[in-house]
Amino acid sequence: MSNSLIQKYNVAGPRYTSYPTVPYWEADTFSYESWIYSVQQTFRASNLSEGISLYIHLPFCESMCTFCGCHKRITKRHDVEHPYIEGLLKEWELYTALFDERPQIKEIHLGGGTPTFFSPSNLERLINGIFKSADCCEDYEFSFEGHPNNTTKEHLQALFNVGFTRVSYGVQDYSLKVQKAINRIQPYEHVQQATEMAREVGFTSISHDLVFGLPFQTLDDVVESINKTKSLKPDRIAFYSYAHVPWIKGNGQRGFQDSDLPSGNEKRKLYETGKQMLAEMGYIEIGMDHFALPTDSLFKAMENQKMHRNFMGYTASKTDLMIGLGVSSISDSWTGFAQNEKNIERYYQILEEGKIPVYRGHLLTEEDLVIRKHILHLMCNFKTSWADKMMRFYEIPEVLIKLSEMQQDGLLELSKNTIQVTEKGKPFVRNICMAFDLRLQRNKPETKLFSMTI
């Protein structure tokens, strides 16, 4: 990758887990009643045919990782577990009261925070509580994020007993210097034990998250981390760029100086070396920053062009309705988004009032829906087309003008009605999506909202 391309395209841009992106949601067209209507309509249309997905946010962590951009609350008090699970089940009850049939659940993902902050018995109680008023789809897939330092065999067995077969472990980097800088000390032995225990229990898909661009991280650190990962052979690997957004996430990302971070050129070298090593290990690039073995369900979904991207990241299947439970969770009805209250005490208070605790959202326009499909196709399949008139929109000529320079740089191939991202262009897929992002084009932010694309 040439330095000139990095310098040219290394700009602030969204990661496109949604379109429109959260900063461009229109609050004035959103209401609680409109959200409820949107959920009911999508549920009726899709529950029996494809099922629904659940994202459950478990926000508690015992310590602060200074690289983390997630919504969390730091505490060592585990008496917070019981009332929070009661709150989640109350929220789920409020949603199921909207439906005229039992939900068929296709996907569940437990995110955080640290889901394994919760005891195995409490996690099992949560999932069993969900299924008192729901059923599993035949091809369901349940996953959770595990911390290698505190995921026990009891955690794994309890979740396996209620249908979980996928676990993702946050590794980040094995360098002690890097781990100290991000306040995430976890030896290789802990990751090895957690990975091996998952396989012993019966988990069929294990993922490791590796991050490049962390403070003090060197090329040798990335090589060492991937070599250690090679010995454990996880089914999936997320190898993604550290998103440095201290202006949004506050002091949690100010545990080091900007000068401690690898430069743009150095950071790109970390990615290219890591990507090459992963390819040599047999991993196939899946979408943006994700890699999988050919035996994994995500690779098979990509082959069949059924891979999807949402607020949970890449998934092996799509449901039109994804309900987010818990503080800060975002729900998606395909035609609308809604985010829950971020403050835990306020979250509980709204539940006591008998209302689903959403505090902001967006209803997609017809134009939004078309642009959303284009961006999803690019993020999941590295191509999109407007040969179908339903995929056309008025500004296509303007988009093509923006993409012409990228075509000249060899990042994509343009035909009459189709865009195909080249191998050279895959690292710049966010930039390509930005050309379609009409809301970004019309509302250039005065302040920085997003992390850098490279």
CATH number of domain containing 397: 1.10.10.920
Q: Using CB atoms within 10 A of its CB, is residue 388 exposed (0-12), middle (13-18) or buried (19+)?
A: exposed
Q: Are residues 92 and 121 in the same domain?
A: yes
> Can you give the residue range of the structural domain that contains 202?
24-332
Are 375 and 304 in a shared domain?
no
66-80, 186-200, 285-299 — most confident range: 186-200
pLDDT in tens, 275-315: 999 999 999 999 888 999 999 999 999 999 999 998 878 99
For residues 28 and 16, membership in a common domain is answered with no
- With respect to residue 406, please indicate whether it lies within any of the assigned structural domains: yes
pTM of the model: 0.93
Examine the domain organization and report whether 189 and 56 are in the same domain.
yes
Q: Are residues 130 and 29 in the same domain?
A: yes
Residue 357 lies in a domain: no
Backbone angles phi, psi at 358, to 5 degrees: -80, 145
Task: Give residue-wise pLDDT tens across range 349-359.
Answer: 999 999 999 99
Residues that constitute the known binding site: 55, 61, 65, 67-69, 112-114, 145, 172, 184, 209, 243, 330
User: Looking at the structure, do residues 66 and 110 belong to the same domain, yes or no?
Assistant: yes
Q: Which amino acid is at 6?
A: I
In a domain, 54, yes or no: yes
106-140 as b/e: b if 16+ CB within 10 A: bbbbbbbbbbbbbbbebbbbbbebbeeebeebeeb
Nearest-10 Cα torsion for 95, 98, 101, 105: -20
Give the integer Cα–Cα distance in Å for 40 and 96. 10
Residue 25 has pLDDT above 70, yes or no: yes
Helix (H) / strand (E) containing 138: strand 135-146
Band (60; pLDDT cuts 50, 70, 90): confident
The answer on 71 and 8 residing in a single domain is: no
Rounded distance, CA 115 to CA 91, Å? Answer: 18
Average pLDDT score over residue span 229-256:
74
Say how many domains are in the chain: 2
Q: How many CA atoms lie within 13 A of 137 on its CB side?
A: 22
| Binding site listing for [4Fe-4S] cluster | 61, 65, 68
Instruction: Choose the final residue of a domain: 277, 310, 332.
Output: 332
Say if residue 108 is in the same domain as residue 230: yes
As annotated, the binding site for S-adenosyl-L-methionine includes 55, 67-69, 112-114, 145, 172, 184, 209, 243, 330
